[in-house]
Amino acid sequence: MNHSIPYRRPAEPEALQARFALRVVARLDERAAQLGPDVAERLRFARERALEKAREARSLVRPAIEPLAVGGSTLAWGGLGDSSSLWVKIGSVLPLVALVGGLMLIQHWHTRAQIDAAAEIDAALLSDNLPPSAYGDPGFAEFLNTPRD
Amino acid sequence: MASDKELSDFLKSVEKRAFKRTAYAVRDDDAALDIVQDAMIRLAEKYFERPAAELPLIFQRILSNATMDWFRRQKVRNAVVRNFSYFESVDTDGDFDLLETLEAVEGSTASESASDTVSRAQILVMIDAQVAELPARQREAFLLRYWEELDVAETAAAMGCSEGSVKTHCSRAVHALAKALKAKGIAP
């Protein structure tokens, strides 16, 4: 007996299965399209109730973040939609950035003033004549004897 | 976040299939409509902030859970378990050739087609009935995978089983349908 067995690629059964299944579901689609008006009406009602619930849920979430009243004036924090939420975040971070930047500038200015004052004193000392009594000062003698690098 | 229109369009696109899928499971149109409504409301209330692309999978999971809740409430869980046990049964379709059926379907002429003797509407009813006759898990996998067009991983997530199980369910469902429809002389 020499039966010739047709060769099938491994993926073939799945493809056949999918083709058959898609034919069946196409018929199911046709059948679903024939649903009675009473069913269609109840589905429409269900959909509208669901949308109503979604709107209610959204309205419950929004007021919590929307207007924040401070001392009679109103600050808008939210409820502005996705596109403006980035600007709200930037707006809330900006004062903090300005504060940190200001503190760093003050620190820099203060350090600079100290350096300038020290440089001024050094320059005045170095440019002035050395008093003769300085040569008798043990500290100055020690300074002169200290080896330089 | 899905807008009102996106949510509405999604629900409109899925509602009939959701109803049919549920009706297959509970075999009661009124109960199926209640379950679908319940699932739609749960989706709208709890997941309205999710992007529209995530809605199909979430909705299928909610619908499956709502259906199971209904069975629990009806205290017919034993019947469900009995249906589910069909899945465990030994496959006796070893000699059945799907390719043969498909070739017969695709190559059939008008003279060979069952549509000569049975009207198209009747064929649709019979196909519908055959799908309804499938064991619950096989039918669920088949409908989620091919009707709802979820991929294998999504179907597995919606059904709470492994991807391998989904493939097995789908394969058995297709073979059972092909065999049953062939026996009735129906070409889908």
Eight-state DSSP code of residue B54: G
Name the residue among B47, B89, B50, B82 with its Cα closest to residue B65.
B47
Nearest to A28 among B7, B131, B171 (CB): B131
Average pLDDT over residues A93-119: 94
Size of interface A-B (CB pairs under 8 A): 123
Residue A65's pLDDT is 52
Neighboring chain A residues of B43 at a CB cutoff of 8 Å: 50
pLDDT at B80: 57
Contact criterion met (CB < 8 Å) for B146 and A24: yes
Which residues does chain B have with pLDDT short of 50? 89-95, 109-112
Question: What average pLDDT does range A101-124 have in this prediction?
Answer: 93
pLDDT at A127: 84
Cβ <8 Å between A23 and B105: yes
8 Å CB contact between A68 and B61? no
* Domain positions in chain A: 10-61, 80-149
Binary contact (A20, B101; C-beta < 8 A): yes
CA distance A54 to B171: 38
On whether the CB atoms of residues B123 and A23 are closer than 8 A, the answer is: no
* Residue (of B45, B52, B65, B59) closest to B17 by Cα position: B59
**Hey, is the C-beta of A51 within 8 angstroms of any chain B C-beta?**
yes
- pTM strictly above 0.80: no
Tell me what pLDDT residue A149 has.
Answer: 63
B96-183: CATH topology:
Arc Repressor Mutant, subunit A (1.10.10)
Chain A residue with CA closest to B130: the answer is A24
Domains of chain B, residue spans: 4-82, 96-183
Q: What local confidence, expressed as pLDDT, does residue A73 receive?
A: 47
User: Above pLDDT 70, what percent of chain A?
Assistant: 77
Looking at CA atoms only, how far is residue A65 from chain B in angstroms?
A: 15
In angstroms, the separation between the Cα of residue B81 and the nearest Cα of chain A is 26
Handedness of CA A113, A115, A118, A121 (dihedral sign): negative
- At how many degrees (to 10) do helices B4-26 and B55-74 cross? 40
